[in-house]
Amino acid sequence: MTLKHTNCVHAGTMHDENTGGVNTPIYTSTSFEYLDRTRVYYPRYSNIPNQFAVVKKMCALENKESGIVFSSGMAAITAAVLSKVKADDHAIFPASIYGGTASFVKNVFGDYNLDYDFVDTMDVDTIKQIVKPNTKMIYLETPSNPLLEIIDIKSICTFAKEHGITTIIDNTFATPINQNPDSLGVDLVVHSATKYLGGHSDICAGIVLGASKDIKSVKRLSLNFGGSLNAESSYLLERSIKTLGIRMEKINQNAMNIAAFLSGNCKIGKVYYPGLPTHKGYEIAKEQMTGFGGVISFELGNQDPIEFQKKLKIIKPSVSLGAVESIICSPALTSHYHMSSEQRKKIGVTDKLLRLSVGIEDSADLIEDLKQAMCNCSCNQGD
């Protein structure tokens, strides 16, 4: 039996036969000799050693047989989804999914006669009403962005299996350290490796993991679409995942401390964090997650969110998430900018909402930073 941290460090490493070096060598070639060889190597075929090393490590962590690494999360997601739905099929998505995935479904599905529904409440009762004879796939994303909504993975996968429907999960926010979708019955697991897996804001990548037969059909598409990850980035990603376990432990701890601080502060309005017993999805999160992750969303009371962000000294106002450094952004000005203020309000993404991606700094410093950026206004002025 090997456990998470050991797998993070060791799984997939390719032995360097020439020197005995402990790291996987970087194979930079795009041209490989082909005579007298059974295998032809080529990066777009996703069969070069550095890609294999990442895939093997992630297979060990997600408990899946096989996988393909891509040059972005969206390349991974689109290939995984399209491997499961064909013309005239129907697919179900949660209403709150990553903006890029939502845009792919809304802007591309129609062109290829793919039918879909977005569902506000992802539970079995609601899905029963929406499912059609031609429903081939249910897509999950939990915790969601930016309100950290939690979906009961196991109940939906049980329903899906009974009806011969494939499930795909975007496990980016949780990472395999905090959530193992395979043990809850999910067929395909996708990640934006640009976030926690890469973890240092310097790699754009994605990965799909699943049973060998499922990955075969993803590969059929990826060979045609391109979007493979080069050797250098694959190596960098492999190296990053070695510290995923310890990074996530620190991030879970920091986020818990900060969420507790924010929810006890009268200058702050609503706080969304799945580790808070007051969070709507807390009970399910506690069941299916072993840690609650590093994303916290919260509303400021009376303060202007831009003024607040400008006063921060350690936490940087920037986009994306999942790195060693703490960053913050207004979803209303970034991921949800395309919606009207009214539309946003309806789904709970108010103009006062901030999304904090907690890093691995000392939580006391981060709390101090948040505190000093708050207004001097009194607490009980209300909204």
CA 17 to chain centre: 35
Question: Taking CB under 6 A as the rule, does residue 334 contact ligand PLP?
Answer: no
Single out the segment in contact with ligand PLP by CB under 6 A; choices: 45-53, 117-125, 191-199, 301-309. 191-199
Single out the segment in contact with ligand PLP by CB under 6 A; choices: 23-31, 187-195, 235-243, 367-375. 187-195
* Long-range contacts, stretch 312-319, CB < 8 angstroms, 24+ apart: 312/369, 312/370, 312/373, 313/369, 313/372, 313/373, 314/361, 314/365, 314/366, 314/369, 315/356, 315/366, 315/369, 315/370
CA 157 to chain centre: 19
* Positions 155 through 184 that interact with ligand PLP (CB under 6 A): 170, 172-173
Among 192, 263, 309, 326, binds ligand PLP (CB under 6 A): 192
Among 5, 13, 32, 100, binds ligand PLP (CB under 6 A): 100
Is residue 64 annotated as part of the catalytic site, yes or no?
A: no
* Positions 20 through 79 that interact with ligand PLP (CB under 6 A): 72-74
> What is the rounded distance in angstroms from the CA atom of residue 214 to the CA atom of residue 58?
16
- Based on CB atoms, which residue is closest to ligand PLP, 204 or 329? 204
Single out the segment in contact with ligand PLP by CB under 6 A; choices: 48-56, 190-198, 254-262, 354-362. 190-198
Is residue 239 annotated as part of the catalytic site, yes or no?
A: no
Q: Exactly one of 27, 98, 116, 235 is catalytic; which is it?
A: 98
* DSSP class per residue in 314-370: SSEE-S---SSS-EEE-GGGTTTTTS-HHHHHHTT--TTEEEEE--SS-HHHHHHHH
CA 44 to chain centre: 24
> What is the rounded distance in angstroms from the CA atom of residue 300 to the CA atom of residue 148?
17
Q: How far is the CB of 19 from ligand PLP (least distance, A)?
A: 33
Q: Exactly one of 44, 280, 286, 316 is catalytic; which is it?
A: 44
**Tokens for 224?**
């045609």
Is residue 195 annotated as part of the catalytic site, yes or no?
A: yes
Strands (E), 175-326: 188-192, 206-210, 268-272, 295-300, 316-317
Query: Which residue's Cβ has the minimum distance to ligand PLP?
Result: 73
Q: Exactly one of 4, 56, 136, 195 is catalytic; which is it?
A: 195
Bridge partners (DSSP) listed for residue 137: 91, 166
- Based on CB atoms, which residue is closest to ligand PLP, 294 or 301? 294
Q: How far is the CB of 172 from ligand PLP (least distance, A)?
A: 4
Within 13 Å, how many C-alpha atoms sit on residue 121's CB side? 8
Q: How far is the CB of 227 from ligand PLP (least distance, A)?
A: 10
- Based on CB atoms, which residue is closest to ligand PLP, 206 or 301? 206
Return the active site residues.
44, 98, 170, 195
Residues that bind ligand PLP (CB under 6 A): 72-74, 98, 100, 145, 170, 172-173, 192, 194-195, 204, 206
